[in-house]
Amino acid sequence: MRLQYSLSGLSGRGGLDKGRLERMLGVIMTKLKLFCVCLAGSIIALAALAGDTVSQPGAGKAALAGSFQIRNQKYGNLLRPEEANSADGTRIVLYPAQSWKCMTWKLQGNGDAGFHLQNHFTGKTFAAEAGTDKAEAAVTQVPFSKKPEERPTWQLLKLTDGTYRITDTKSGKALTAVKGEGGSGARIVTRAWREEADQKWELIAIDPKQLTM
């Protein structure tokens, strides 16, 4: 009512035409709305950029604790226990990406870039088979001990290309994907570090609430 009165007053005094003034005010309001939308978008973008910078360590730094899917750079598939089997001794293999618990690992820091990895589905971890001095050791599922000092520890260090080298702290050998016999899916072993794509891993952060099974 007050705005209408003001417009009428201006119009009646020989000022601006009422219709023209209303159109001018409409243009001003539209520009103000666009400005607010752009400002809000800029604030959100800056916040996201800041968050990404915090969550992603630089090259040569350790990974951060959290829940991740672990993807091999060469094969593009994710790390999981074979057939999602919870039995001890189950081979660790690669499988096409799904939002499943069996393909998701909880990283728990253990100091000096060391981590304990626990599967969200089986509740277990993995280790290189003991008692082998060969150049290659199979990686299989083992219990996630209640005692931290008894759990296998892996070192996850970020490389310059953004991937990670995952190393067994006992042997110093790197987690490596090897194509299975007869064209079957890749299995996981430890081998001496060669800086090849089959030894490089991407960490994909995921909210456990998004996992479907």
pLDDT in tens, 193-212: 999 999 999 999 999 999 98
Please return the burial class of 47, using the count of CB atoms within 10 Å of its CB with bins 0-12, 13-18 and 19+. Answer: exposed
Verify that 44 and 135 share a domain, yes or no.
Answer: no
The residue range of the domain holding 108 is 66-207
- Residue 201 and residue 93 in contact, taking contact as beta carbons nearer than 8 Å: no
Both 34 and 107 in one domain: the answer is no
pLDDT of residue 43: 44
Per-residue pLDDT, 47: 37
pLDDT at residue number 50: 38
Instruction: Name the E strands within the chain.
Output: 66-72, 78-81, 92-95, 105-109, 114-119, 125-128, 137-142, 154-158, 164-168, 174-178, 187-191, 200-205
The verdict on 9 and 86 lying in the same domain is no
Q: What is the pLDDT along the chain (213 residues), one digit of tens a residue?
A: 444 444 444 444 455 577 777 777 777 877 666 565 445 444 433 333 333 333 456 765 667 789 999 999 999 999 999 999 999 999 999 999 999 999 999 999 987 669 999 999 999 999 999 865 678 999 999 999 999 999 999 999 999 999 999 999 999 999 999 987 655 579 999 999 999 999 999 999 999 999 988
2 in Cβ contact with 12 (< 8 Å):
no
Instruction: Say which amino acid occupies 126.
Output: F
Same domain for 82 and 49, yes or no, is no
What are the φ and ψ backbone dihedral angles of 13, each rounded to 5 degrees? -90, 10
Domain containing residue 141: CATH number? 2.80.10.50
> What proportion of the chain, given as a percentage, has pLDDT over 90?
59
The reply to whether 213 falls in a domain is no
Contacts 24+ apart (CB under 8 A), 179-184: 180/93
Q: Express each pLDDT in 118-132 by its tens digit.
A: 999 999 999 999 865
24 and 74 belong to one structural domain: no
Tracing tokens 């035409």 back to the chain, one arrives at: 17
| Number of domains, the chain | 2
* Pair (49, 88) in one structural domain: no
Same domain, 88 and 160: yes
How many Å apart are CA 98 and CA 101, to the nearest integer?
9
